[in-house]
Amino acid sequence: DADVTQTPRNRITKTGKRIMLECSQTKGHDRMYWYRQDPGLGLQLIYYSFDVKDINKGEISDGYSVSRQAQAKFSLSLESAIPNQTALYFCATSDAGTGNTGELFFGEGSRLTVL
């Protein structure tokens, strides 16, 4: 089983719908992240959480919200989806322990299409 699991892997929805992407991890890491990938733009950070009570906005948080339900679970919501939110979304984790470097461990990605 994957260490970082994202659901759903693929989703097609309509403009205005609420969508939730879920992420769970078995790596025991404190830090979790949501990134968005668009062709030619690389990865952009949406939100990150350094522990259950710590949520921070990234570069492109507008139109998104997150919830850290437990150390192992971090979900991303689109309250009212719009077509330019069509993208590949990645959840990632990192270790906050001594000597950590910020190395990220990624899930397989969730491909979202908003019609």
DSSP symbol at 32? E
How many CA atoms, within 13 angstroms, populate the side-chain half-sphere of residue 41?
Answer: 13
Tell the smallest beta-carbon distance from residue 80 to another protein (Å): 27
106 binds another protein (CB under 8 A): yes
Q: Are 105 and 29 in contact (CB under 8 A)?
A: yes
* Binding mask of the shown chain, residues 21 to 60, with x at each position contacting another protein by CB under 8 A: ----------x--------xxxx-x--x------------
Q: Are 63 and 85 in contact (CB under 8 A)?
A: yes
Among 78, 104, 112, 114, binds another protein (CB under 8 A): 104
DSSP symbol at 81? -
1 binds another protein (CB under 8 A): no
13 binds another protein (CB under 8 A): no
